[in-house]
Amino acid sequence: MNSLSHTHAALIIIGHGSTVNPDSSAPTHLHADSIRQRGLFREVTCCFWKEEPTMREVYESIDSDVIYIVPNFISEGYFCQQVLPRELRLSGPTTERDGKTIHYCDPVGIHPNMTRLLLQRADEVAPGVPRAETSLIIVGHGTNLNDNSTKAIKDQVQFIREGGYGFAEVIDTYMEEAPFVADWHTLTTAPNVVVVPFFIADGLHSFQDIPVLLGMEKEVGKALSQMEVFQNGPSSLAPPPPSKTSSNKRSPPG
C-alpha cells in the first residue's frame, strides 16, 4: 500500500467486539492506534458490532470524502458478507453515497501472511518439538449461516499441508460444526498436538471456550487478561469420555 495515496482518506477498522469478554476489542484498538501513529491516513478509527462505538456512529463522524473499511475478521463469512454491508448500507466493493466514496476491503484473515503467522504461533508454543511427530490443529468457529465461514481455515490447512512444513498431519476443526475441536483425540494420531485458534482476539472463544472443549479446563473461566493458566503449558491430556455432542453453541463467527 502506498502511504502517500491514502493521506487524504479515512480508514475504519471494524471488529466484532463482545459484551462479556474484555479482551475481544483490544486487537482492533491496537491496530487503529498503530496505523494512526504512522500517519498513513487522514483519519483512522474503529468500531464494533457488539460494542461502542457502533458502525453507524463512526461513519457519521468521518469527515474525509474517501473511506476505506477493513473488517478485522478471519473469514469472508456471515458478518463480512451480510451483516457489515447491511449495517453500513454498502452496495458492493465501492459505494458512492452522500458525496463520499466508500471502499469495502477484504477481511484481514485471508491475507497471504496468515500462513506464516499460524506457523509462527505453532513454533512459539512448541519450541523444539519435532514437526514430524506433531499434529497441527487449526480451530475456527464454524456456522451454518454462511458457507464461506470456514473457507479461510480450510485454505490455511491446505497451504500448510502442501507447503512441505513437515507436520505429521494438519487438521481443521470447529466449535459449531464438524469436525469438532472437542473430537481432537479421534482426529489426531501423532504424540504431540499443537492447537492454534484462528481468531482475531484473545477473547471468549480462544481462551475460554476452546480450553473446555479440549479438556484443559472443566468450565469456562476468566478472560486471558485475568488469568495465568495458558502460561503453564504444555498440557498432558487423556482422551475425554464420549459425550452426546461436541458442539458448544456461542455467538455467530466473523
Question: What pLDDT was estimated at residue 2?
Answer: 47
Question: What pLDDT was estimated at residue 171?
Answer: 97
Which residues, listed in sequence order, are joined to residue 194 by a DSSP beta bridge? 136
Question: What pLDDT was estimated at residue 57?
Answer: 86
Q: How far apart are CA 247 and CA 171, in angstroms?
A: 17
- Amino acid of residue 63: D
pLDDT tens digits in sequence order for the chain, 254 residues long: 444 569 999 999 998 877 776 677 888 889 999 999 999 999 999 999 888 888 888 888 899 999 999 999 988 878 888 889 998 899 999 999 989 999 999 999 899 899 999 999 999 989 999 999 999 999 988 877 667 778 889 999 999 999 999 999 999 999 888 999 999 999 999 999 999 988 875 544 444 567 767 766 655 555 444 445 444 556 666 565 554 444 444 444 44
pTM for the full predicted model = 0.73
Which domains are assigned to the chain? 3-109 (3.40.50.1400), 112-231 (3.40.50.1400)
Distances from the Cα of 201 to the Cα of 5, 60, 179, angstroms: 30, 26, 22
Buried b (16+ CB within 10 A) or exposed e, 202-223: bbbbbbbbbbebbbebeeeeeb
* 230: helix, strand or coil: helix
Report whether 230 contacts 155 (CB < 8 A). Answer: no
Query: Residue 237: how many CB atoms within 10 A of its CB?
Result: 12
3-state DSSP of 168-225: CEEEEEECCCCCEHHHHHHHCCCCEEEEEECCCCCCHHHHHHHHHHHCCCCCCCCCHH
Q: How far apart are CA 141 and CA 252, in angstroms?
A: 8
Question: What pLDDT was estimated at residue 200?
Answer: 77
DSSP summary character for residue 135: E
